Structure 1
Amino acid sequence: MAKRSSLSIRIVEGKNLPAKDITGSSDPYCIVKVDNEPIIRTATVWKTLCPFWGEEYQVHLPPTFHSVAFYVMDEDALSRDDVIGKVCLTRDTLAAHPKGFSGWAHLTEVDPDEEVQGEIHLRLEVVSGTGTRRLRCSVLEARDLAPKDRNGASDPFVRVHYNGRTQETSIVKKSCYPRWNETFEFELEEGATEALCVEAWDWDLVSRNDFLGKVVFNVPGLWAAQQEEGWFRLQPDKSKSQMDKGNLGSLQLEVCLRDETVLSSSCYQPLVQLLCQEVKLGTQGSGQLIALIEETTSTECRQEVATNLLKLFLGQGLAKDFLDLLFQLELGRTSEANTLFRSNSLASKSMESFLKVAGMRYLHGVLGPIIDRVFEEKKYVELDPSKVEVKDVGCSGLHRPQTEAEVLEQSAQTLRSHLGALLSALSRSVRACPAVVRATFRQLFRRVRERFPSAQHENVPFIAVTSFLCLRFLSPAIMAPKLFYLREQHADARTSRTLLLLAKAVQNVGNMDTPASRAKEAWMEPLQSTVHQGVAQLKDFITKLVNIEEKEELDLQRTLSLQAPPVKEGPLFIHRTKGKGPLMSSSFKKLHFSLTTEALSFAKTPSSKCMNELNQWLSALRKVSMNNTGLLGSYHPGVFRGDRWSCCHQKDKTDVGCDKTRSRVTLQEWNDPLDHDLEAQLIYRYLLGVEATLREKHRELRGATEAGTALEGPGLAPEDGLAQLFQVLQDLKKAHSVSPAAAPASEHRNLLELQT
């Protein structure tokens, strides 16, 4: 049983940002921090004051987090990146918006006195003497303080203020993890209401000291408690007047906080078994819970419900059966072949999620080299005569610019080359396609052919496959490779246009080159011969793809199960020190690492071109370490050099770590290990929200049964299946009501601590 929190983050766009470059523009990107820990960096959008990112992230984090901050930065090649401004959303702000925060937020100036981090360990007590009482404050240590000096550390000391008196600790040089173990005493007067203020500062020899944070305590409350000890989070100094915000522009965000109490696996087994039974029975069963879930799912939450159901059944080994049931349900209510799987139905959304979870590595293998080539060539490509800009092309000879006809012809040649390369790569990739994906497409192909068996519908089974493979998987990845992890940066305007035209060509091939698709944009005609040839290639590919026997499917799955799939792979730079001392040289060695749920390995040569940033690697390592019972609670972020730790200056090499390990802030990605209990909890929460609608449906079905109009078939009667579901929901409600998981709170929320 555990309390889990997650943030759904969509960084949409910015507007009216200030110019930071001499060109009158900026190169903005965003950094997202949870309690001062960087977790996300968006792509840089070059030369604009109104950037569009459209990037989405799912972050899992402990319920004890305090705030999430969005920093808009300006990237500089030759100097330090400039901070444009920030938007900070506290946990309380997000909790006050159950449906999520959505809209424009003004950027505020970054005040150094508000950029605090870390915690301080204090012991407070009231001691009695001969007729007097004294307030004793022991300043023990601090951790994760903000580095304020060029050496990447600080020289911290602490000031303690009470009743007009100030006392200071000694200065600890070059450390963000200082230990003082110093005690101060102040006289206490009966009925005193003065607050105790503990401030951390960075000492500087020539400039003013830098503020590191403070904690303020309610002394009257300490009279009753007598003693209090713990780690307290340092707070910013908000007592001074607010800085002038100026015109820093705005950031459009969509942020939703979700808290879940996840019960033990045994609590969810009845729900999982009931849903699995429905899928195994398929359309032969009369319970039809899946059909009722689809019927009650609104457009707004359909993608989320589809993803949760898909992951649950994927974990149970029933993804193919679940999708097959959805295919049959949609085919049963579709009379026109040309509208098949064109809507945003539960089947379509589930299949999209399935391809991203099960087929992303396959997508990278097929599409990666073509996308890299488009980015590297940076050719000007345009087929629409109304949009051709000859001046952007340059000269084909020494003295004359290219004509419009020459631009169009060269563009067509470039696109034909890219499309041909993609289709060839696809044709060669049958064996590389995951077995479960091939088996699912086989079922889809067969179901559609059974539903539309006539000769006039000969192409419909192929179009059904391409409606997912091409229109909902390949084409979106071509248009937005950053969102499919194919590139680290968004494409510039020229490359984006090339990708868009290539995606249109892939869509035309996926539509089997129908007259309707050709009529939409007549200027795509120069690609017609390649598209027509591509249709034949694609049909041949699909024929081979779906021609997978049960034995072959099992063999492929068995082979894959013997290999732990990589959680993360890509290059990392390893620091290699050649000697000791400030004048000795050091360098970085680039190695290609692969992290699986079983091992971390490396090689000298890469097998993948995927670049992973440090926070993504940290996220991946945390995911595979979550079930490690020997995970340390603290560690030394420095090194033991000479006779002491560089972080906290302790001289005992076996000394307990001075900083706590952060093992719970992770980014959700397509190759994450499945979390069966969480998926079951999310489905339970959704069913709880539509329980009233399902009960109304239950009354209708029961009335129909009593009237003798219910459909006959094997398995449970419809109302019996729903009755079982209501009992399961009732049991889960009861389990949650007795759950000891408390409401989210800070790790050390104390009545003595004042928020200032």
Structure 2
Amino acid sequence: MAKRNTLFIRIVEGKNLPIKDITGSSDPYCIVRIDNEAIIRTATIWKTLSPFWGEEYNVHLPPSFHTISFHVLDEDSLSRDDVIGKVSITKEALAAKPQGVDGWVNLTEIDPDEEVQGEIHLQISVLGDGDVPRILRCQVLEARDLAKKDRNGASDPFVRVRYNGKTHESAVVKKSCYPRWNESFEFELDDAPLDTPLSVEVWDWDLVSKNDFLGKVLFNIHRLQSAHQEEGWFRLVPDKPKHSQHEGTLGSLRLQLRLRDETVLPSGHYQPLTELLCQSVGPHLNGNWPDLIMLIDETTTAESRQEVASNLVKLFLGQGLAKEFLDVLFKLELDKTSEPNTLFRSNSLASKSMESFLKVAGMQYLHRLLGPLINRIFEEKKYVELDPNKVELKEAGCTGLHRVHTEAEVIQQSTSLLQSYLSELLHAINQSASYCPVALCQAFQQLYQCVNKRFPEPEYRKVKFIAVTSFLCLRFISPAIMSPKLFHLREKHADARTSRTLLLLAKAIQTIGNLDTLTCCSKEPWMVPLQPAIQLGITQLKDFISRLVSCDNSEDLGLQQRMSLQCGSMEKEGFILLHRTKDKSILMTSPFKKYYVTLSKDTLSYARTQHSKKSFFISLPRIRAVEKVEEKSFGSANVMQIISSRDNGQVETLYLDCKSVNELNQWLSALRKACSHNTDTMSSYHPGIYKGDRWSCCHQKDKADPGCDKTKHGVTLQEWYDPLDPDLESQLIYRHLIGVRQAMRKKYQEIIKPEEEDDRETLEGEKKLDGVTRLFSVLQDLQNSHTAVEEEERSKNRNFLLELQT
């Protein structure tokens, strides 16, 4: 059994942001923080006060997280980025809305007194009894992960303890966010009112300016007197929030958030549900409608359809039955469609499932297909425009030293460029028939044949091609061209000029995918110059589809799917700055050198070049921790450390300096997932470096000190290349089916009622009825298992509380 917190984040857009640049605009981007730790940076949207990001992320988190916040900043190339505002949402607020949060949220001012983080280790006890005066003793031991208030990337923390009008202060620990005090303070209790709280405050000492607040903890002494002692790590909280003078003037963000707290049972619990779903699409059906998939299709709402489709696709991919599942949905969709022109144009379960299938099984294909062309367009940054109403002659530049391009010359040059891009794209599509994954080929073959069988008439001869291109071009290739960052083809969004070029190219491939030049050119007559290229493209695309659907893919597709997707690998590679330490301290000012780093299934390797014969290896099972490094250690906020053990038991640390916060978190996430089953992991670590004779984070001199901060193994980002998790997908499908169980019962009664009235029950009908009733039984068994687990957890919590009280 495992508990998994998954947070879905979609940063949609912003509006009414304040002006931060002299141009009368801003260049906004978002930093997403979990408990003040940056995990995501969106792309910068240039020169706008109403940015659209549309970026989606799934983050796996430990149950102990408290808050997610979105900081909006204005990027500046010559000075420090300007802070615009933030949105903070607590875990409790997200948990209170299991359906998710979707809407506009006002940005608020960032108050330094609210920007607190970290924990403090305290031991508080009540001493004395009877005739002996009672004493309240507060032992301040240490703190970790405090906020960085000074320019050196650290703080100078001290503790102020208050009780009944009396105050004690600890010593100041210089340049540390992980201070250790080990000081004790005492107060007399007898003359204090019962409701007097004990306040433990942490401050950053400053010589010139006023001290900065780092957080506080309040204790109820009346409750403490009955327990006599309380010890542990306590989360620092901010002061009461102040009323912002900028309320409602900093703009707002539109966010979509959904927190899922899943209890995933052992695999055996899901086996009956998985078997039932597999039987519903299996070959034994002999053409009869599988009631189970039909019921899921009929009862899934528009709001949940995308998620349900994705979960079902992943489950059937893991079972090697994706082709059969899609075949069932194709037939259901075709059975409901009488007008071929509307085929697969709605957001039905069939359309959403095919979309999800392409993204899960076809992303590597898409990257190989589009990567070179997208990179070329980004690098060239040519001005391209066909619409006379949008031509900017200044943007187009000059033909010589003095003469500016005419409108006709701009359009002619733009046509030539687009024809060049389109020709390169179509050539790449034609060449891709040789490396298109077998799973995609067979899905398109099945779709082509199903549509051809449903609409065999000569006047509908194009429909089978359009069915394929509606997914391949309109829902896969074209969206990836328009927004390459959202398909992981580029790290940043395109600038305005490149974005227009991508949009025009996407329009051209959409027109080709529709197999119709006349409609497009009648709506947008300025597309006419591209008509010959589009017409040629239609011919080439139809030829490509004909070859794709006639390929012999007789190999065991189910085995291939299971091998490539269920097992999966966390492969990742690229050039990165790297520094390795063994037993020596870090003495060099710039110790990093460029290496090509490769993460494979079993090892992390690095070499000076991509194809170097001499490489260094770290076996993944030997990795004990993968964590971030304090900014002050190397002067960079994007350094991570990989702590591993050698054959002789000694520890070795490898430091990687990443280009950005996104690259940092992607490497952290990939390595943590690759080492998720390691047994000899560390529970604490040093976020600093051992330099000279001490740790830079907590100033401890013992190099073997176990660490001053807790490790964060549970924080990972979900990526498109992640291996499938069958138990999690089964759990997500179960949860959906439980939610629509009553609707499924009602719908099924509507389906079988005519058969009962006519008394036409057949043996096959009884089997189908048995399959659906078995589903409800399986769901009930799973629900009982979850109830038993929850009751066991509650019982453990009750026993724990009783132990504390005794």
Per the normalisation by structure 1, the TM-score is 0.92
Query: Would the aligned equivalents of 1:635 and 1:659 in 2 still touch at CA under 8 Å?
Result: yes
Alignment of structure 1 residues 286-435 onto 2, 5 Å:
287-435=290-438
Quote the residue 1:593 is aligned against: 597
Find out whether 1:572 has 2:557 as its counterpart: no
Q: Secondary structure at the match of 1:738?
A: helix
Q: Deviation digits for residues 271-295 of structure 1, max 9, x if unmatched?
A: 1111111011456355420011101
Cα 1:585–1:225 shift into 2, 3 Å:
closer
How many Å apart are 1:161 and its aligned residue? Answer: 0.9
How many Å apart are 1:605 and its aligned residue? Answer: 5.0
* Letter of the structure 1 residue corresponding to residue 313 of structure 2: L
Cα 1:711–1:496 shift into 2, 3 Å:
farther
Quote the residue 1:209 is aligned against: 211
Match of 1:268 among 267, 270, 279: 270
Q: Secondary structure at the match of 1:123?
A: strand
How many Å apart are 1:603 and its aligned residue? Answer: 4.7
Quote the residue 2:119 is aligned against: 119
Q: Deviation digits for residues 548-591 of structure 1, max 9, x if unmatched?
A: 334446597699689964443333332589xx999954164333
Quote the residue 1:233 is aligned against: 235
* Letter of the structure 2 residue corresponding to residue 492 of structure 1: D
Cα 1:584–1:621 shift into 2, 3 Å:
closer
Cα 1:679–1:79 shift into 2, 3 Å:
same
* Letter of the structure 1 residue corresponding to residue 225 of structure 2: W
How many Å apart are 1:518 and its aligned residue? Answer: 4.4
Query: Would the aligned equivalents of 1:157 and 1:171 in 2 still touch at CA under 8 Å?
Result: yes
Query: Would the aligned equivalents of 2:517 and 2:535 in 1 still touch at CA under 8 Å?
Result: no
Query: Would the aligned equivalents of 2:163 and 2:199 in 1 still touch at CA under 8 Å?
Result: yes
Query: Would the aligned equivalents of 1:42 and 1:53 in 2 still touch at CA under 8 Å?
Result: yes
How many Å apart are 1:28 and its aligned residue? Answer: 0.9
Q: Secondary structure at the match of 2:200?
A: strand
Find out whether 1:253 has 2:303 as its counterpart: no
Q: Deviation digits for residues 399-442 of structure 1, max 9, x if unmatched?
A: 32222211111111110000000111111122322221122222
Find out whether 1:65 has 2:72 as its counterpart: no
Q: Secondary structure at the match of 2:281?
A: helix
Cα 1:507–1:604 shift into 2, 3 Å:
farther
Pick which of 476-485 and 278-287 moved more. Answer: 278-287
- Greater relative contact order: 1 or 2 (C-alpha under 8 angstroms, separation 6 or more)? 1
Query: Would the aligned equivalents of 1:439 and 1:553 in 2 still touch at CA under 8 Å?
Result: no
Query: Would the aligned equivalents of 2:517 and 2:534 in 1 still touch at CA under 8 Å?
Result: no
Alignment of structure 1 residues 675-714 onto 2, 5 Å:
675-708=725-758, 712=762, 714=764
Find out whether 1:452 has 2:452 as its counterpart: no
2: CA distance, partners of 1:716 / 1:641:
75
Quote the residue 2:702 is aligned against: 652
Q: Deviation digits for residues 318-354 of structure 1, max 9, x if unmatched?
A: 1121111111222223233322222211111001001
Q: Secondary structure at the match of 1:425?
A: helix
Cα 1:111–1:566 shift into 2, 3 Å:
same
Query: Would the aligned equivalents of 2:568 and 2:724 in 1 still touch at CA under 8 Å?
Result: no
Q: Deviation digits for residues 490-511 of structure 1, max 9, x if unmatched?
A: 2222222211110111012112
Find out whether 1:719 has 2:769 as its counterpart: yes
1: CA distance, partners of 2:782 / 2:562:
35
Cα 1:597–1:610 shift into 2, 3 Å:
farther
1: CA distance, partners of 2:600 / 2:590:
30
Q: Which runs of 5+ in 1 are unaligned?
A: 752-756
* Letter of the structure 1 residue corresponding to residue 604 of structure 2: L
Quote the residue 1:754 is aligned against: none
* Letter of the structure 2 residue corresponding to residue 668 of structure 1: Q
Cα 1:343–1:561 shift into 2, 3 Å:
closer
Find out whether 1:624 has 2:674 as its counterpart: yes
Cα 1:133–1:331 shift into 2, 3 Å:
same
2: CA distance, partners of 1:532 / 1:165:
86
Pick which of 444-453 and 468-477 moved more. Answer: 444-453
2: CA distance, partners of 1:336 / 1:189:
86
1: CA distance, partners of 2:480 / 2:257:
24
1: CA distance, partners of 2:220 / 2:407:
77
2: CA distance, partners of 1:671 / 1:710:
49
Query: Would the aligned equivalents of 2:201 and 2:214 in 1 still touch at CA under 8 Å?
Result: yes
Cα 1:556–1:482 shift into 2, 3 Å:
same
Q: Deviation digits for residues 195-224 of structure 1, max 9, x if unmatched?
A: 011111222233322221111111100011
Quote the residue 1:132 is aligned against: 133
* Letter of the structure 1 residue corresponding to residue 260 of structure 2: R
Quote the residue 2:100 is aligned against: 100
Query: Would the aligned equivalents of 1:153 and 1:174 in 2 still touch at CA under 8 Å?
Result: yes
Cα 1:638–1:368 shift into 2, 3 Å:
same
Q: Deviation digits for residues 727-752 of structure 1, max 9, x if unmatched?
A: 01111111111114758x99xx999x
Query: Would the aligned equivalents of 1:375 and 1:495 in 2 still touch at CA under 8 Å?
Result: yes
Pick which of 660-669 and 93-102 moved more. Answer: 93-102
Quote the residue 1:197 is aligned against: 199
How many Å apart are 1:23 and its aligned residue? Answer: 2.7
Match of 2:490 among 487, 495, 508: 487
* Letter of the structure 2 residue corresponding to residue 206 of structure 1: V
Quote the residue 1:154 is aligned against: 155
1: CA distance, partners of 2:567 / 2:740:
40
Alignment of structure 1 residues 518-533 onto 2, 5 Å:
518-533=521-536
1: CA distance, partners of 2:531 / 2:332:
36
* Letter of the structure 2 residue corresponding to residue 527 of structure 1: L
- Number of matched residues? 746
2: CA distance, partners of 1:206 / 1:288:
75
1: CA distance, partners of 2:434 / 2:595:
29
Q: Deviation digits for residues 586-617 of structure 1, max 9, x if unmatched?
A: 1643334333443323454569x998521222
* Letter of the structure 2 residue corresponding to residue 205 of structure 1: L
Q: Secondary structure at the match of 1:299?
A: coil
How many Å apart are 1:628 and its aligned residue? Answer: 2.3
* Letter of the structure 2 residue corresponding to residue 12 of structure 1: V
Query: Would the aligned equivalents of 1:7 and 1:58 in 2 still touch at CA under 8 Å?
Result: yes
1: CA distance, partners of 2:401 / 2:239:
65
Pick which of 166-175 and 560-569 moved more. Answer: 560-569
Q: Which runs of 5+ in 2 are unaligned?
A: 612-657
Pick which of 329-338 and 110-119 moved more. Answer: 329-338
Root-mean-square deviation (Å)? 3.0
How many Å apart are 1:94 and its aligned residue? Answer: 2.1
Query: Would the aligned equivalents of 1:435 and 1:557 in 2 still touch at CA under 8 Å?
Result: no
Cα 1:504–1:603 shift into 2, 3 Å:
farther
Quote the residue 2:171 is aligned against: 170
Quote the residue 2:51 is aligned against: 51
* Letter of the structure 1 residue corresponding to residue 208 of structure 2: V
Quote the residue 1:504 is aligned against: 507
* Letter of the structure 2 residue corresponding to residue 430 of structure 1: A
Pick which of 567-576 and 370-379 moved more. Answer: 567-576
1: CA distance, partners of 2:745 / 2:87:
43
Cα 1:472–1:702 shift into 2, 3 Å:
closer
Per the normalisation by structure 2, the TM-score is 0.87
Pick which of 305-314 and 612-621 moved more. Answer: 612-621
